Chain A
Amino acid sequence: MALKLKLHTQPDVPLEVDCISPDRLQSLSNSEISKQTIFHGNRQVNLGDFFDCIGDFDNEIIIEGDCSNIKHIGTAMSFGQITIEGDVGTHTGAVMSGGEINIEGSGADWLGAEMLGGRITVKGDAGHMVGSAYRGSAQGMQGGEIIVHGNVRNEMGHAMRRGLIAVGGNADDFAGVNMLAGTIIVLGDMGIRTGAGMKRGSIICQNIIDILPTFSRSCDYQPSFLRQYYKYLKSMGLTINDSFLDGPFERWCGDSVELNRGEILLYAGK
């Protein structure tokens, strides 16, 4: 049976719970888990003050309750699985290097920021800065996958270095800004200034977008690798229109103010 953490008291100011991660809880008894230190605003309290701890850890942690005011769940985890049954707060899965986080509700800002590996799946929406770099740091996400079924906000994949972000809904402005490498796939609409300052990497869009004046069109083609991606995303539960599978794509390269080795692939089959 998995370890279940059930929120019994709603915090009145944000809770920071970086101890909720398989790495930190794996070898602890339930009473020790309840005594783990967390931050309630500026006070140090025990995990047990807010969560009931039921069952035993067998590689999986299930979190119940509305966690939208709870930050840093699964930060820096390296293995195992966390399932969050509702919404969750900021920094979920930041800097994680392995394992899996499943969010049944919606995620928030800095979801999977600077993550190194593993997978995050969100059934609802996510916030700003998904898989991005923290302010002042040179690299965002460096590996792993983030799959969001709903919409995401600005600056998704800011300075991302490797890995995959797939979005079933819409993305707002500056998706893949300053991207160093990696892949972003958006099935819905995009905001403005997609891929500004990108050095390398691929951004794949299904709908017409505004392209910055520093990108240039290189060709139309049918990239075979995309088939594999789409098949994989389909298996992950995203709805993929079959016509994308071998549809023609316009390839735009940029950003010419940087290396000009990045690409934006625009579906041209409509």
Chain B
Amino acid sequence: MSENIKIVKNATCTFCGCVCDDMELHVDLDENRIVKTKKACVLGKAWFLEHTIEKDAHAAMIDGKKVSMEEAIEEAAQTLVKAKFPITYGLSDSTSEAQRQAVAISDIVKGNVDTTSSVCHGPTGMAFQGVGESTSTLGEVKNRADLVIYWGANPAESHPRHFGRYSVTAKGMFTPNGKKDRTVVIVDVRKTKSSPVADINIRPKIGKDFEILWALRALVKGKKVADDIEEQTGISLETLEDLVERMKNCRFGVFFFGMGLTMPRGRHFNTGALLALATDLNEFTHFVAKPLRGHGNVTGADNVVSWQTGYPFSVNFNRGYPRFNPGEFSTVDLLSKGEADAAMIIASDPASNFPKKAIEHLKSIPVISLDTKSTLTSKDAHVAFRVSTYGINTTGTVYRMDDVPITLNPAFDSPFPGDEEVLKGIKKRVQELMLARHNANGARGEAKVAAARIQE
């Protein structure tokens, strides 16, 4: 280890949705590597310590051959402008500044923009729209919550510092004794590493979350539920009634729900049922429901796409204005049905985790990829950009899972450009090309004004 060590205080870990911003990093500037972390959990530690810069990687490649940045940007822009149904996907492991550029590009080329939300908490987004959201920040949870219910989530393994920083052992203004002041309930079909933390573990039959939530809603409203509820769901009526009493009588209750709720059969109805239950409970006490978001900035992706288009994900600009329709404009569906004819994938690897049919189609169309490492998607990409890692090499804004924006404090420089820089380059070129097309088509009146506005 060299002597040239820089200490970075208050750095931010962007590995999971907790976005812990109290890290202390020791950076070896000669080797461009983080050698020590303080306060990070196992996942965060691995994220920082395993981060290296592949010096022999190329920043820009076309069909596997090294090219200059300008050439790659030109080719990417041409590909997007030529396409009749270009799609943008990914975005959740990127800064909000870069996400903003990506939405702008999709708007200009009249494409489709979708984030990884559509394959994780997309159902939550749909349920928010259908049912509404009773929400709070994690700070409020830390200071006030006396009943914490995790549903279909395993934070001990997915968000290791969630318990300590916000929800279980954290000591707050009205919860001075930490865990002693709280009741923790975990509803999960399996025993997990999180289970020992809970005061009450509820283990329903697989795929019965909706039925249980529905029964809880009925009980909260003072209605009867079917006698065979235990047979149906694996949970006895007494347990449910006890839970209802606790929920009604707490001071501040919170649901944290994970993909164990959003992914099984029923999807947005499962989350919708939970959100509706939280709403019902507000007749008796204060109750909120928050999704446990996975990737670092997936919450930012929802926020940015929402404030730019009005919808959180699966947004289509084909007709020049935004339309939202998950199921039609979600990337998995567009690829599986073979509808897209070019794709820009940002910080995501659909070639490794999408259904087979979707991957097949993705392989048959030109792909532009931006990633910090080599992935299955970037290997097959027509234009591949290697970008620096947000949070470690580049600054920017990241949204924590409770929609609180946090500014990143990077540790050291990378030879590769940030996503934002590359996307800005593509955006500029795409604007010029679209303007040229408008003029060539003899844009008149409004079209001309719109074209001029694009150029601004």
Q: Which of B214, B228, B327 contacts A196 (CB 8 A)?
A: B214
Does A135 lie within 8 Å of B129, measured CB to CB?
A: yes
**B218 on interface, CB distance cutoff 8 Å:** yes
Stretch of B170-178, B317-325, B348-356 with 4 or more beta carbons under 8 angstroms from chain A? B317-325
Does B214 lie within 8 Å of A213, measured CB to CB?
A: yes
**A134 on interface, CB distance cutoff 8 Å:** yes
Residues of chain B lying within 8 A (CB to CB) of residue A100: none
Q: Which of A109, A257, A260 has the most CB of B within 10 A?
A: A257
Docked complex Cα distance between A128 and B84 (Å): 26
Does B265 lie within 8 Å of A173, measured CB to CB?
A: yes
Q: Which of B110, B126, B328 contacts A42 (CB 8 A)?
A: B110
A-B CB pair tally, cutoff 8 Å: 98
**A240 on interface, CB distance cutoff 8 Å:** no
**B217 on interface, CB distance cutoff 8 Å:** yes
**A267 on interface, CB distance cutoff 8 Å:** no
Q: Which of B84, B109, B129, B223 contacts A257 (CB 8 A)?
A: B223
Residues of chain A lying within 8 A (CB to CB) of residue B224: 216, 256
Question: Taking the nearest CB of chain B, how far is it from the CB of A45, in angstroms?
Answer: 10
Does A214 lie within 8 Å of B84, measured CB to CB?
A: no
Does A13 lie within 8 Å of B341, measured CB to CB?
A: yes
Does B218 lie within 8 Å of A13, measured CB to CB?
A: no
Docked complex Cα distance between A136 and B214 (Å): 21
> Which positions 299-331 of chain B face chain A at CB distance < 8 Å?
317-319, 324-328
Chain B interface size range: 35 or more
Q: A41-B84, A41-B85 are in contact. Are A135 and B317 (CB under 8 A)?
A: no
Q: A39-B319, A135-B129 are in contact. Are A213 and B226 (CB under 8 A)?
A: yes
Docked complex Cα distance between A147 and B327 (Å): 23
**B339 on interface, CB distance cutoff 8 Å:** yes
Residues of chain B lying within 8 A (CB to CB) of residue A128: 327
Q: Mark A191-203, 1 if CB is under 8 A from B, else 0.
A: 0110010000000
With both beta carbons as reference points, the residue of chain B lying nearest to A155 in the complex is identified as: B269
Residues of chain A lying within 8 A (CB to CB) of residue B215: 213-214
Question: Taking the nearest CB of chain B, how far is it from the CB of A199, in angstroms?
Answer: 14
Question: Taking the nearest CB of chain B, how far is it from the CB of A226, in angstroms?
Answer: 25
Question: Taking the nearest CB of chain B, how far is it from the CB of A31, in angstroms?
Answer: 22
Question: Taking the nearest CB of chain A, how far is it from the CB of B121, in angstroms?
Answer: 15
Residues of chain B lying within 8 A (CB to CB) of residue A40: 84
Docked complex Cα distance between A216 and B341 (Å): 51
Does A14 lie within 8 Å of B225, measured CB to CB?
A: no
Residues of chain A lying within 8 A (CB to CB) of residue B325: 134-135
**B448 on interface, CB distance cutoff 8 Å:** no
Docked complex Cα distance between A214 and B225 (Å): 5
Does A136 lie within 8 Å of B85, measured CB to CB?
A: no
Does A16 lie within 8 Å of B319, measured CB to CB?
A: yes
Q: Mark B196-217, 1 if CB is under 8 A from A, else 0.
A: 0000000000000011001101
Does A14 lie within 8 Å of B85, measured CB to CB?
A: yes
Docked complex Cα distance between A129 and B325 (Å): 12
Does A256 lie within 8 Å of B223, measured CB to CB?
A: yes
Q: Which of B129, B226, B229 contacts A216 (CB 8 A)?
A: B226
**A21 on interface, CB distance cutoff 8 Å:** no
**B137 on interface, CB distance cutoff 8 Å:** no
Docked complex Cα distance between A230 and B317 (Å): 44
B interface vs A, CB < 8 Å? 83-86, 109-111, 126, 129-130, 210-211, 214-215, 217-218, 221, 223-226, 228-229, 232-233, 265-266, 269, 276, 317-319, 324-328, 339-341
Additional 6 contacts, C-beta under 8 A, given A193-B269, A215-B226: A13-B340, A41-B318, A109-B327, A135-B325, A196-B214, A260-B223
